[in-house]
Amino acid sequence: MNDETPRARGNAGRGLGRGLSALFGDDETPAAAASPQKQDNLRTLPIEQLKPSRFQPRRDFDAEHLEALTESVREKGILQPILVRRDPSEPNHYEILAGERRWRAAQAAQLHEIPVILREIDDRGASEIALIENIQRQDLNAIEEGEGYRRLIEEFGHTQEELGRALGKSRSHIANTMRLLSLPEEVRAMVVSGQLSAGHARALVTSRAPLALARLVVSDGLSVRQIEAALRMEKQVGEAGPAKVAKVKTKDANIAALEKELAQLFGLKVTIAGEGEAGSLTIHYRTLDQLDEVLKKLRAEN
């Protein structure tokens, strides 16, 4: 493994294509660690000399997962060294670049020393590594993930294709996740808190009334499929749609069957919308000739 960290070279766009194992030192095999150069970087430090990175994008750590990791560390120790750099503001202290969960687990397991890999990395490189490490290894919510992709692209000049190759994600996944950042702030907050799933959020991106629909998901427990049905109705009812869509839940099976029957009768798309006993029947035509045919059939019934 090349010991020089990609971002420490100061060239945006490199490093990611080599894979995250090279970036984080994950390919530290016993054979690789045996070289003098590797021994210079691989060392053991007192746990109190380490501190979280100020560039760490994650603020909340899942308590259950952390407890499980603590038990593993208590039983087996730290199997993978933590990546650190010298703290630029405090002598004899080190800033964690990758592996904060392991450090927290080691503290909980009351370890006194932990293995680390020391790298000389500037602030730019530290920020980039913190973002990539979280995207690759943590269960981020969809908004955190999208923000990570956006920062990597805007601050470090990476393309969606480069990120996809390095992180094992498709370019479309990265693009669709970043689109979630266009949702209203309140909707994004619902995703962060877990009230909305990533699937719900992706469906809401195309809505003219994402907040109204998001609130309906939370209050009534609508599924992604139901949201998609509501969005189809939103397109049908035009500019007046958002107010109506906010009231859409599930379409009754009998109503759906009646729509199909009328569509076959008129040879055109038919939509029935209602609440309680009131509602509307819409026959969609594209030409005046189609409208004439509908009128003929309606008059013939009379």
Active site residue ranges? 100
- Which tokens is 131 given? 């973002």
Backbone φ and ψ of 131, nearest 5°: -65, -50
Instruction: Report CA 197 to chain centroid distance, whole Å.
Output: 10
299 exposure class (CB count in 10 Å sphere: 0-12, 13-18, 19+): exposed
Which secondary structure element, helix H or strand E, spans residue 228, and what is its range?
helix 224-237
Tokens 């996809």, residue located? 164
Tokens 């602030």, residue located? 123
Report the alpha-carbon distance of residue 117 to residue 22 in Å, rounded.
13
- Which tokens is 18 given? 């080599």
Tokens 């750099």, residue located? 85
- Which tokens is 85 given? 């750099």
**CB 23, CB 3: distance < 8 Å:** no
Per-residue exposure over 202-236, b if at least 16 CB sit within 10 Å of its own CB, e if not: bbbeebebbbbbbbbbeeeebebebbebbbeebee
Report the alpha-carbon distance of residue 126 to residue 267 in Å, rounded.
63
Report the alpha-carbon distance of residue 131 to residue 148 in Å, rounded.
6
- What is the residue type of 91? P
Report the alpha-carbon distance of residue 22 to residue 24 in Å, rounded.
6
